[in-house]
């Protein structure tokens, strides 16, 4: 499989032979499993406070042979644990059960529950190969709604990695006719509903372009402020970056060095 290497001006240059991993079969079910597995590992285990709702004097006494002030049955009240020795205001108040005010949750999260979804190493590697191959499959790219390019995968010369300024990166993306993807992500940015706005996550943001470089380069700084753009070194590629929302075919811009690194690190499927 071959493709043309694009210059910074957007013009096609020499032909480049792509590694065999770009010809892997795209398995959408495996990609979905890998993304969900990755997302599940980011979740934090939850549990309850063992004494939640029980830090009180509430007790239920169902023995009928006791004097009236000491038993909880045959008093005209519901048969529930009630507080005692708290003065006239709190005495007789229901506590210690889930239906009471300040009571514990009925069925709280369990600490021992298994949140992370495990996946075999070979399956995860195959899922990554599938996600990489989908970036070079035009039908998958078009399904995601990214149709601004005529040829995929997009490979650009290594000169792109030297661009440290966002203005220079923007000019290159405009010459490659990729700027519409950035503008579309800007238009789709919406304000999040609820309290999460005040927790440092005000906006819902859309993904646009993924840029893959061969090594730590100046372009990482030049691209990081563009709406929806993710920049990653080839050795740090993940299925979640290549297929956001479990949908393969993200529009991806590779540098020559990145393509070479992918072939060396993962090789054949």
- The domain locations on the chain are 2-43+116-266, 46-114
Evaluate whether 158 touches 214 at the Cβ level (below 8 Å). Answer: yes
Nearest Cα residue to 36 out of 245, 269, 259, 256: 245
**pLDDT at site 87:** 65
| Dihedral sign of CA atoms 269, 152, 177, 141 in order | negative
pLDDT of residue 1: 86
Cβ 258 vs Cβ 234: under 8 Å: yes
CA atoms of 248 and 132, how far apart (whole Å)? 9
Q: What is the rounded distance in angstroms from the CA atom of residue 144 to the CA atom of residue 248?
A: 8
pLDDT reported for residue 61: 87
Distance CA 35, CA 37 (A): 5
Look-up: residue for tokens 């007790």?
59
Residues of the chain with pLDDT under 50: 269
Task: Say if CB 264 and CB 149 are below 8 A apart.
Answer: no
For residue 22, the 8-state DSSP code is G
**pLDDT by residue (tens digit) across 139-191?**
999 998 766 788 899 999 999 999 999 999 999 999 999 999 999 999 999 99
pTM, whole model, 2 decimals?
0.83
Q: Does domain 2-43+116-266 have CATH number 3.40.1370.10?
A: yes
- pLDDT at residue 86 in the model: 62
């Amino acid at each position: 499989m071959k493709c043309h290497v694009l210059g910074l001006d957007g013009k096609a240059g020499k032909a480049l032979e792509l590694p065999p991993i770009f010809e892997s079969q795209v398995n959408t079910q495996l990609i979905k499993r890998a993304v969900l597995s990755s997302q599940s590992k980011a979740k934090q285990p939850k549990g309850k406070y063992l004494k939640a709702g029980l830090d009180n004097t509430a007790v239920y006494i169902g023995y009928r042979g006791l004097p009236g002030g000491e038993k909880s049955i045959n008093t005209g009240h519901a048969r529930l644990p009630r507080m005692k020795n708290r003065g006239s205001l709190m005495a007789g108040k229901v506590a210690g059960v889930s239906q009471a005010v300040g009571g514990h949750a009925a069925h709280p999260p369990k600490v021992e529950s298994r949140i992370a979804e495990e996946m075999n190493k070979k399956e995860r590697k195959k899922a990554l190969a599938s996600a990489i191959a989908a970036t070079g499959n035009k039908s998958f790219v078009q399904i995601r709604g990214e149709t601004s390019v005529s040829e995929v995968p997009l490979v650009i010369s290594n000169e792109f990695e030297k661009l440290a300024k966002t203005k220079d990166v923007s000019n290159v993306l405009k010459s490659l006719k990729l700027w519409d993807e950035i503008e579309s992500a800007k238009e789709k940015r919406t304000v999040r509903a609820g309290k999460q706005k005040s927790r440092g996550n005000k906006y819902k943001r859309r993904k646009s372009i993924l840029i893959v470089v061969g090594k730590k380069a100046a372009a990482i700084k030049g691209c990081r402020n563009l709406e929806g753009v993710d920049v990653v070194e080839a050795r740090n590629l993940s299925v979640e970056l290549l297929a956001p929302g479990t949908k393969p075919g993200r529009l991806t811009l590779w540098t020559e060095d990145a393509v070479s690194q992918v072939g060396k690190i993962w090789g054949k499927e």
